[in-house]
């Protein structure tokens, strides 16, 4: 199922982007805390950046809106807050003016998210990879996941895993993820006898919401 | 009302009863408490639950609407009954075999590495291991309570741990049972106890990555492979990187 596109546009108006500049993300920098991934130029000449940030503040309202835009069922806000606070790494993509601190700049807009849980040493798992449907198919999801993976590898966390919907497996394969490596199967356990809110899959494998929790990139 | 003890929790009663009716009150305390975090949140007022068409939720996110409880699952179970069903063999059963489950005491890392080596896992650097365990949400292990031909008293015989964001997801890692104590249900017992602890905290998504030889064991416990095609993937570093 294709994600629903938001008809009520809020600033900045991405439908009028005339040109985009693909920046080579500066992976040579010591930290991957903040990386400018893309520059967009509107028809009136206004320039916006898409910036990856790791460890920055996340507005829960904006996140809920983003999750709704990509078609995920709503999750209790209290749980999302706790989950973010206890995630090892949270990466966001924001669409913002080149100098977001200036008073004339429009407010930054959350357009992407990915988070990783980890023991900080051996294993990490990526969850909730989302890119705003208005900015999909521009390579932002790829850049987001790549930057997260690089950041994790930099910390010597070598086992980076995730769960992907069937239609996103090729996306992750292209980024270096292999399904069932050496026959190892990812498995889900279902709470017996009742459904717990915040979960995406039901016991029989059918999905409560419209789209994958992993990557709504189509 | 006849048979009411076996009836599911009714819509009228808040499902908070689920969190208060704990047959083993220490389960919730067996996982790591909240630690201070580096993330901050914007000063904007926080969202209340978006009601929309979704079912009413209690503050810990447990769904209270009956239709949600029934959808897709088929069987009605009292919630406490469901949790007691999780353990196929009790602590007492294992106590008679000279085995005890430990939660709060950190296992000896040398012994843990010995166990890992015996089951074919790589040995870990001790400092890294200690750090990984301190970042692990739940750790459970099996201790021999008496000396026998197959164990020293106090010896670490089996282990399992789970990482989690403490609200939405959890992943179980490093399930190991020493050869000689396998095939008596210890692996399953460890995982069931982790599941009980995690579900008592309302964590809805619990996952693990299973080697081909143990996929069947986990399926028997209620784990599902590739539900609707959702697959587990792992990043494979390119050679030379």
User: What pLDDT, on a 0 to 100 scale, did the predictor assign at position A201?
Assistant: 60
CB contacts < 8 Å between A and B, how many? 294
Residue B142 in tokens: 């099996």
A136 is a domain residue: yes
User: What pLDDT, on a 0 to 100 scale, did the predictor assign at position B32?
Assistant: 65
Question: Taking residues A34-48, what's their average pLDDT?
Answer: 88
A7 is a domain residue: no
- The string of DSSP letters for chain A reads -PPPPP-S--SS-GGGEEEEEE----TTSS--SEEEEEEEEETTS-EEEEEEEES----HHHHHHHHHHTTPPP--HHHHHHHHHT-SEEEEEEEE-SSTTSTTSPPPEEEEEEEEEE-SSSEEEEEEEEE-GGGTTSSHHHHHHHHHHHHHHHTT--EEEEEE-GGGHHHHHHTTEEESGGG-EEEEE--TTSPPTT--B-TTS-BSSSS-SS----
User: What pLDDT, on a 0 to 100 scale, did the predictor assign at position A196?
Assistant: 56
pLDDT surpasses 90 at A14: no
Considering only residues 159 to 218 of chain B, which have any Cβ-Cβ distance to chain A shorter than 8 Å? 163-169, 171, 173, 195, 199, 202-212, 215, 218
Are A166 and B206 within 8 A, CB to CB?
no
pTM of the predicted model, to two decimals? 0.75
pLDDT surpasses 60 at A78: yes
User: What pLDDT, on a 0 to 100 scale, did the predictor assign at position B37?
Assistant: 41
Question: Taking residues A27-52, what's their average pLDDT?
Answer: 82
Confidence of residue A10 (pLDDT cuts 50, 70, 90): very low
Instruction: Say which of A120, A121, A181 has its CB closest to residue B234.
Output: A181
User: pLDDT tens digits for A44-60?
Assistant: 888 999 999 999 889 99
Instruction: Give the Cα-Cα-Cα angle A155, A87, B215 (nearest 5 degrees).
Output: 85
User: What pLDDT, on a 0 to 100 scale, did the predictor assign at position A19?
Assistant: 44
pLDDT tens, residue order, chain B (241 aa) = 444 444 454 445 444 434 444 444 455 567 765 544 444 444 344 433 333 334 444 444 443 333 333 333 333 334 445 556 789 999 999 999 999 999 977 789 999 999 999 999 999 999 999 999 999 999 999 999 999 999 999 999 999 999 999 999 999 999 999 999 999 999 999 999 999 999 999 999 999 999 999 999 999 999 999 999 999 999 997 644 4
User: What pLDDT, on a 0 to 100 scale, did the predictor assign at position B27?
Assistant: 53
Domains recognised in chain B with CATH numbers: 81-222 (3.40.630.30)
A8 is a domain residue: no
Residue of B94, B116, B159, B218 with catalytic role: B218
Total structural domains within chain A: 1
Are A74 and B54 within 8 A, CB to CB?
yes
- Best mutation target among A119, A200, A207 (most B Cβ atoms within 10 Å) is A119
Chain B residues close to A114, C-beta within 8 Å = none
User: pLDDT tens digits for A111-137?
Assistant: 999 999 999 999 999 999 999 999 999
Whether A103 contacts chain B with CB within 8 A: no
A211 is a domain residue: no
d(CA A191, CA A61): 28
Q: ipTM for the complex?
A: 0.79
Whether A150 contacts chain B with CB within 8 A: no
A81 is a domain residue: yes
User: What pLDDT, on a 0 to 100 scale, did the predictor assign at position B59?
Assistant: 41
Residue with the bigger pLDDT between A32 and A11: it is: A32
User: What pLDDT, on a 0 to 100 scale, did the predictor assign at position A31?
Assistant: 67
Task: Quote the DSSP letter at residue B212.
Answer: G
User: What pLDDT, on a 0 to 100 scale, did the predictor assign at position B233?
Assistant: 97
User: What pLDDT, on a 0 to 100 scale, did the predictor assign at position B31?
Assistant: 73
A96 is a domain residue: yes
CATH number of the domain residue A154 falls in:
3.40.630.30
Q: What percent of chain A has pLDDT above 70?
A: 73
User: What domain range is A145 assigned to?
Assistant: 34-177
A12 is a domain residue: no
User: What pLDDT, on a 0 to 100 scale, did the predictor assign at position B68?
Assistant: 35
User: pLDDT tens digits for A163-213?
Assistant: 999 999 999 999 999 999 999 999 999 765 444 556 656 545 454 443 334
A48 is catalytic: no
State the average pLDDT for chain A: 81
Are A160 and B195 within 8 A, CB to CB?
no
């Amino acid at each position: 199922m294709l994600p629903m596109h938001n008809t009520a546009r809020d600033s900045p108006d991405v439908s009028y982007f005339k040109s985009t500049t693909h920046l080579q993300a500066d992976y040579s920098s010591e930290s991957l805390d903040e990386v400018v991934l893309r520059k967009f130029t509107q028809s009136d000449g206004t320039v916006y950046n898409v910036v990856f940030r790791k460890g920055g503040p996340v507005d829960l309202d904006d996140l809920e809106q983003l999750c709704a835009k990509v078609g995920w069922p709503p999750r209790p806000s209290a749980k999302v807050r706790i989950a973010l606070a206890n995630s090892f790494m949270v990466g966001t993509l924001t669409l913002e003016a080149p100098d977001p601190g200036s008073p004339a700049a429009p407010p930054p807009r959350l357009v992407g998210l990915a988070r990783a849980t980890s023991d900080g040493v051996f294993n990490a798992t990526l969850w909730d990879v989302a890119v705003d449907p208005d900015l999909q198919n521009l390579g932002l999801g790829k850049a987001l996941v790549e930057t997260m993976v690089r950041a994790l590898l930099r910390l010597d966390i070598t086992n980076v895993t995730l769960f992907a919907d069937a239609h996103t497996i090729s996306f992750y394969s292209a980024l270096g993820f292999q399904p069932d490596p050496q026959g190892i199967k990812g498995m889900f356990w279902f709470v017996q006898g009742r459904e717990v809110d915040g979960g995406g899959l039901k016991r029989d494998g059918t999905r409560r919401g419209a789209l994958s929790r992993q990557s709504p990139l189509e | 009302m006849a048979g009411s003890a076996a009836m599911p929790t009714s819509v009228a009663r808040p499902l908070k009863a689920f969190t208060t009716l704990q047959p083993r009150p220490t389960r919730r305390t067996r996982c790591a408490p909240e630690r201070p975090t580096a993330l901050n949140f914007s000063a904007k007022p926080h969202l209340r639950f978006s009601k929309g068409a979704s079912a009413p939720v209690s503050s810990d996110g447990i769904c209270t609407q009956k239709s949600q409880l029934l959808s897709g699952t088929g069987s009605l179970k009292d919630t406490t009954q469901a949790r007691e069903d999780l353990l196929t063999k009790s602590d007492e059963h294992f106590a008679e075999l000279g085995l005890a489950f430990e939660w709060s005491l950190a296992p000896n890392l040398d012994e843990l590495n010995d166990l890992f080596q015996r089951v074919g896992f790589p040995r870990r650097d001790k400092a890294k291991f200690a750090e990984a365990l301190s970042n692990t949400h739940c750790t459970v292990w099996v201790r021999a309570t008496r000396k026998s031909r197959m164990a020293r008293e106090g010896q670490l015989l089996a282990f399992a741990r789970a990482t989690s964001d403490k609200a939405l997801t959890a992943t179980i890692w490093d399930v190991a049972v020493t050869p000689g104590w396998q095939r008596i249900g210890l692996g399953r017992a460890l995982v069931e106890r982790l599941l009980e602890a995690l579900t008592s905290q309302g964590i809805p998504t619990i996952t693990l990555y299973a080697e081909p030889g143990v996929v069947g064991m986990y399926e028997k416990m209620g784990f599902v492979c590739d539900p609707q095609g959702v697959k587990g993937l792992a990043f494979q570093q390119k050679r030379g990187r």
